């Protein structure tokens, strides 16, 4: 009897997460967003905001760090984003990468304005370091940074074949996204719940945009790393898995039996 080869549950779980990563990201982001929105709408004090105020505003503000945070927060301002759009349009692969990023940016800004109008949360007052207008929830800079730089990360993983470069660029843009959100709390123009909610909204948005809209501008490249990885994963299974057709042929084949010898009659037997 051939021994059955079962895939470990950890490998099956990892494969399930890889195949359904968008669903997992959307579910987690929606859970966090709903929890924050419930506290913002039905509670006067959000515990996350109290902790962030105590940690960032009271204990991390320094004279040398304030201009750094002001420069970081400007990475999600219109002029730097326009410059990066031009760079993406000129050098990024794909059919229309510039239009893809520009449409993403316009739509996420419109979504942010709609959510701010619905929630109507005032901005923090009394400890701002820069002047801002408009409502507070969710943070526009956080949404824009997650949507714009997150789309760049998706494009890098789609087109860049060098794994080291993919990881390095992803870490770099991830740090930019985090620092932009942190700078909004540091400068006192947003609550921490505004920033986290902005990240969650943009994650849900990116899961939709990269699935439905972005492939219209950026067709999937012919990347040999996918096929080679798939071949490497399937080859050991083929080597150890018994062939059903061979087993059937082995059991159904009648073995060759030599014919019985014929006894000749002799004269004595007659």
**Whole-number Å distance between alpha carbons of 111 and 23:** 21
Instruction: Give the mean model confidence (pLDDT) for residues 204-217.
Output: 88
249 within some domain: no
Q: What was the pLDDT predicted at 243?
A: 52
Q: What was the pLDDT predicted at 1?
A: 46
| Segment among 30-34, 117-121, 242-246 with least mean pLDDT | 242-246
| Distant-in-sequence, close-in-space partners of 140: CB < 8 Å, separation ≥ 6 | 76, 109, 112, 113, 116, 134, 198
188 within some domain: yes
- Using alpha carbons, select from 79, 101, 203, 231 the residue that is nearest to residue 155: 101
For 113, the domain range is: 21-219
Question: Looking at per-residue confidence, does 267 or 81 come out higher?
Answer: 81
Each residue's pLDDT tens digit, 124-174: 887 888 888 888 888 989 999 999 999 999 988 888 888 888 899 999 999
Instruction: Give the mean model confidence (pLDDT) for residues 97-119.
Output: 91
57 within some domain: yes
- The count of domains in the chain is 1
Residue 111: pLDDT over 90: yes
129 within some domain: yes
Residue 266: pLDDT over 50: no
6 within some domain: no
**Whole-number Å distance between alpha carbons of 266 and 111:** 108
Mean pLDDT taken over the chain: 79
Confidence category of residue 228, pLDDT binned at 50, 70, 90: very low
What percentage of the chain has pLDDT greater than the value 70? Answer: 78
- Specify whether the CB–CB gap between 116 and 134 falls below 8 A: yes
43 within some domain: yes
Answer whether 0.85 is exceeded by the pTM: no
Each residue's pLDDT tens digit, 161-204: 888 888 999 999 999 999 999 999 999 889 899 999 999 999 99
Give 196: exposed, middle or buried? Use CB within 10 Å, 0-12, 13-18, 19+: buried
122 within some domain: yes
247 within some domain: no
- CATH no. for residue 199? 1.20.144
**Whole-number Å distance between alpha carbons of 140 and 113:** 8
């Amino acid at each position: 009897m051939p021994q059955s080869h079962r895939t470990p549950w950890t490998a099956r779980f990892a494969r399930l997460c890889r195949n359904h990563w968008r669903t997992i990201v959307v579910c987690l982001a929606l859970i966090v967003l709903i929890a924050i929105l419930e506290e913002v709408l039905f509670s006067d004090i959000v515990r996350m905001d109290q902790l962030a105020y105590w940690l960032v505003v009271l204990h991390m503000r320094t004279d040398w760090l304030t201009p750094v945070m002001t420069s970081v927060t400007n990475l999600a301002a219109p002029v730097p984003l326009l410059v990066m759009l031009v760079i993406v349009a000129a050098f990024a692969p794909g059919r229309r990468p510039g239009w893809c990023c520009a449409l993403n940016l316009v739509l996420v800004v419109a979504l942010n304005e709609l959510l701010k109008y619905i929630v109507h949360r005032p901005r923090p007052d009394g400890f701002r370091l820069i002047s801002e207008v408009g409502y507070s929830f969710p943070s526009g800079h956080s949404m824009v940074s997650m949507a714009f730089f997150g789309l760049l990360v998706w494009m890098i993983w789609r087109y860049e074949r060098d794994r080291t470069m993919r990881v390095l660029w992803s870490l770099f843009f991830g740090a930019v996204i985090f620092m932009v959100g942190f700078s909004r709390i540091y400068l006192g123009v947003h609550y921490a719940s505004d920033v986290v909610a902005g990240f969650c909204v943009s994650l849900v948005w990116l899961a939709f945009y990269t699935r439905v809209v972005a492939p219209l501008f950026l067709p999937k490249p012919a990347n040999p790393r996918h096929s080679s990885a798939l071949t490497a994963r399937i080859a050991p299974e083929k080597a150890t898995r018994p062939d059903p057709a061979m087993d059937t042929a082995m059991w159904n084949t009648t073995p060759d039996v030599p014919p019985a010898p014929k006894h000749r009659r002799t004269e004595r037997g007659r």
